[in-house]
Amino acid sequence: QVQLAESGGGLVQAGGSLRLSCVVSGSIFSTIDMAWYRQAPGKQRDLVARITPSGHTIYTDTVKGRFTISRDNAKKIVYLQMNNLKPEDTGVYYCLYSGGRTYWGQGTQVTVSS
């Protein structure tokens, strides 16, 4: 069974940085698309960034130039480096494993104060 474990969230001031990690266990990783989603309070869960097995990436417009998604296939980890954080980046960040079935992590809270 696929298990995802996110970490790296926290409280940071606007302009600061955080790096989120998502460790995958229980299944293959190198051939799977991975993604980070964000759910702000009272809002739906939205895509932040996605990375293919070959390393091709896409980002939602609001984070382009500030966030970087990357992966380490040997360690089965996907990262989200978040720089120049803004209060509107606040939310719970979820890791998504997008294989034949999809799996979600438990989420990690990111709070950006102004």
pLDDT tens-digit profile of 59-102?
A: 999 999 999 999 999 999 999 999 999 999 999 999 999 988 99
5-47 pLDDT tens trace: 999 999 999 999 999 999 999 888 989 999 999 999 999 999 9
Name which of 110, 113, 86, 112 is nearest 38 in CA terms.
110
